[in-house]
Amino acid sequence: MAHADKPFDLTRYLRTSNAAVNHALKRFLPSAATAPSTLHKAMRYSLFAGGKRMRPALLLAAAEACGGSVVNALPAACAVECIHTYSLIHDDLPSMDNDDLRRGKPTNHKVYGEGIAILAGDALLTQAFEILTHSKATQRYSHRELVLELSRASGSLQLIAGQVADLEGEGKKLSLSKLLYIHKRKTSALLCSASRLGGMSANCTPTQLRALTDFGYHIGLAFQVIDDILDVTQTSEKLGKTAGKDIAAQKATYPSIVGIEKSRQIAAQLTANAFAALKPFKGKATALEALAQLLLHRDN
């Protein structure tokens, strides 16, 4: 998708990658009419509610940086988006963040009720691994390695561990190192895994995989710092989710601990570290660089 002789057009890139991901997701998921249709409607409701599709874009860009194809990377890109969407549905539940708005629409449990929302999240989590089996194994990475990669990133030591620490930290004064522990797991683990899975779908070399790990890790941390800044600087309308939630829930965030300006500097430094990680690609990871910039400067 990238052309060395032209300035990189990220808007066009995202339009193309999002269309490919949406088309594949529609095919991978049971139709809304398939029984139990309430469940499949609920799964599709959140999946197609208008998320930014940053994780799939990152995955496709990582594949491209390693000389891979969109076709081979698409199953993993869809799998990661299913995991991400499940985590948002569950995060919004009354027993978690208790939110009414997500991706600019009423949250899943507001529309379908709590029981169906829990089950839609569960089903998306399971669906993710079924979709992942549609990936092609490569010379260096078997299906076992792909499944291990995604299950580790989304399991009890990473994504869910982050959510547990986040829940348990509410109303408490947290140190920066505890906050880093949460961000690494709650946010960075899945973004990092997206970056790694993109490389793996393209049979990346060990050096490339290390670079993508380092890149994804730093991008993931920057993403959450920016998310925390946006929570206090943007409106709910702009974010498509309730703004100001962190203060209301008494959550420790970078802005609450070090202030907004320092938080911006930290996000910029993390992005610079992510850029530095791309050195082995010798300037050929244009889409990854453009995405890193977008994530740093995003306003929703």
Binding site for ligand GRG (CB under 6 A): 51-52, 54, 84, 87-88, 90-91, 103, 159-160, 163, 186-187, 224, 227
Min dist CB 259 to ligand GRG, Å, is: 20
Which alpha helices (DSSP H) does the chain contain, by range? 10-28, 37-47, 54-65, 70-91, 108-112, 114-132, 143-154, 159-169, 176-183, 189-201, 206-233, 236-239, 245-248, 254-258, 260-277, 286-297
Q: How far is the CB of 227 from ligand GRG (least distance, A)?
A: 4
Nearer of residues 84 and 109 to ligand GRG, judged by Cβ: 84
DSSP secondary structure letter of residue 280: G
Instruction: Give SS3 for 193.
Output: helix
The residue among 85 and 201 lying less far from ligand GRG, judged by its C-beta, is: 85
Question: Least distance to ligand GRG from the beta carbon of 160, Å?
Answer: 5
Q: How far apart are CA 90 and CA 216, in angstroms?
A: 24
Q: Smallest distance from the beta carbon of 226 to ligand GRG, in angstroms? A: 9
Compute the least distance from the CB of residue 77 to ligand GRG, in Å. Answer: 13
Triad 160, 175, 249: Cα angle to 5°: 60
Distance CA 221, CA 111 (A): 32
101 DSSP β-pair partners:
106
Nearer to ligand GRG, 9 or 122 (CB): 122
Q: Which residue is nearest to ligand GRG (CB)?
A: 51
DSSP H or E run through 106: strand 105-106
Contact 254, 225 (CB under 8 A): yes
Q: Which residues does 74 contact at the CB level (< 8 Å), separation at least 6?
A: 20, 21, 24, 60
> CB-wise, 176 or 276, nearer to ligand GRG?
176
Q: At what angle do helices 70-91 and 114-132 cross, to 10 degrees?
A: 160
Between 196 and 241, name the residue whose CB sits nearer to ligand GRG: 241
Q: How far is the CB of 163 from ligand GRG (least distance, A)?
A: 4
Which residue number, 61 or 66, has a Cβ lying nearer to ligand GRG? 61
Q: Phi-psi bin for 7: left (phi > 0), alpha (psi -120 to 50), beta?
A: beta
Nearer Cβ to ligand GRG (43/88): 88
What's the closest the beta carbon of residue 7 comes to ligand GRG, in angstroms?
Answer: 25
